[in-house]
Amino acid sequence: MPNFITDNFTPPLLPFSEGGYDFLWEAASPASHYVLVRKEKAEFFITIKSKDNNHVIKGEKISRPSQVLFLQQALQIYANRAKCNALFSNLKPSKNSRKIKNSISKDINEQNHTSSDEIYIEIGFGSGRHLLYQAKNNPQKKVIGIEIHKPSLEQVARQRDALGLENVVLVDYDSRILMESLPSNSVEKIFVHFPVPWDKKPHRRVISDYFVEEALRVLKTGGTLELRTDSELYFTYAVDTFLKNEKADVRIFKNFDLEISSKYEDRWKRLEKNIYDVILTNHQTSVEQEPLNTLHFDFSPNTDKIISRFSPKLFKGEGFFVHFETLHTKGNEVVVIKTAFGANERAEHSFIIIDKNKAAYFPNNIYATKANKMAHKIIAEWLHE
């Protein structure tokens, strides 16, 4: 994460604009300050933490924009305005830090899929070799890549732009939450290649009963969910999980070469590890489901009341939770609450910003998944108290 440390810091007056960046306002807590920055469609926070005479100024993790260049440039502009004297800095853009031409999406349904689209999805594409190979060799398919690792998203976005692959859509989201937002019977193939094995924490795996249920719903009849792994534990776990479904069949391959080998695969092959494919084919037509809505607040919270009664709080419900973590304020007009909520193993990390008595999730909209809806109800009741 881009950051710098300075022993000289004169907070600049807000708002100001420079070089295409708008620095809008600042909210404070006893521990840190957030400055809201806007660049084109991206909005994000930079964080300032002060201790003794030193100040650490860095990008904020939850709102980190998909393009790190935006963060580096915003921090550089802010540092100059604040007359900072950098004791340490990693702000210098690397040679890869050119702007990405085509965007990285935060919402899979932004693309308005039509029923005639032939869709492939790859989850956790990493270096993107397999994703780009599929897109290049199947120009009629829409190839959607879902990743949570921003540097991988950026790197593959640049390769996509360089290769002129217009059929690649990149989505910056946790695939475990995203599946529920896809329309039923719409996808031909879902690839999960070399997912993090989580041998000691299997509940964190991408593949779960819930994931397979949603995958079968979104797959067309004859569509496949394809796991490729070097982990024997993940392999047997996937076989057991896939076999729980009656309207699907499971095929297994050992050390079967694909046309393209990923970075991880090359490494495991050098170590002479076995590689397993577990392929689940869907044989059911699922009930149609509209793309999921996003969650919104339809009332005006009272910021004074929230400021006076806020304390960190954890609420546990049946299969979901809500954690109100920190509060930052700008006078009593703007309130920024850092939260985590949703399904226990698939948490959303988000801010709630209440500005001029209007509340909204930030930086992204939140999908109305089952667990998120239950969490949202608790959040709304708490804001309304």
Q: How far is the CB of 174 from ligand SAM (least distance, A)?
A: 4
Cβ closest to ligand SAM, residue 121 vs residue 337: 121
φ and ψ of 192, to 5 deg: -125, 95
How many CB atoms neighbour CB 258 within 10 A?
A: 16
Among 31, 163, 196, 252, binds ligand SAM (CB under 6 A): 196
Are 63 and 363 in contact by the 8 Å Cβ rule? The answer is yes
Q: Is 61 in the site for ligand SAM (CB under 6 A)?
A: no
User: Which alpha helices (DSSP H) does the chain contain, by range?
Assistant: 68-81, 129-137, 150-163, 175-178, 209-218, 232-243, 263-270, 303-309, 370-384
SS3 65: coil
Distance in angstroms (rounded) separating the CA atoms of residues 307 and 182: 38
DSSP secondary structure, 336-371, as one string: EEEEEEEETTEEEEEEEEEETTEEEEESS--B--HH
Q: Is 152 in the site for ligand SAM (CB under 6 A)?
A: yes
Residue in the structure block whose two tokens are 């830090």:
97
Cβ closest to ligand SAM, residue 130 vs residue 376: 130
Among 193, 217, 328, 338, binds ligand SAM (CB under 6 A): 193
Q: Is 267 in the site for ligand SAM (CB under 6 A)?
A: no
Among 23, 264, 320, 362, binds ligand SAM (CB under 6 A): 264
Cβ closest to ligand SAM, residue 39 vs residue 129: 129
Query: What residues from 330 to 369 belong to the interface with ligand SAM (CB under 6 A)?
Result: none
Q: Is 134 in the site for ligand SAM (CB under 6 A)?
A: no
Q: Is 127 in the site for ligand SAM (CB under 6 A)?
A: yes
Among 57, 84, 146, 352, binds ligand SAM (CB under 6 A): 146
Q: Which residues bind ligand SAM (CB under 6 A)?
A: 123-127, 146-149, 152, 174-176, 193-196, 206, 262-265
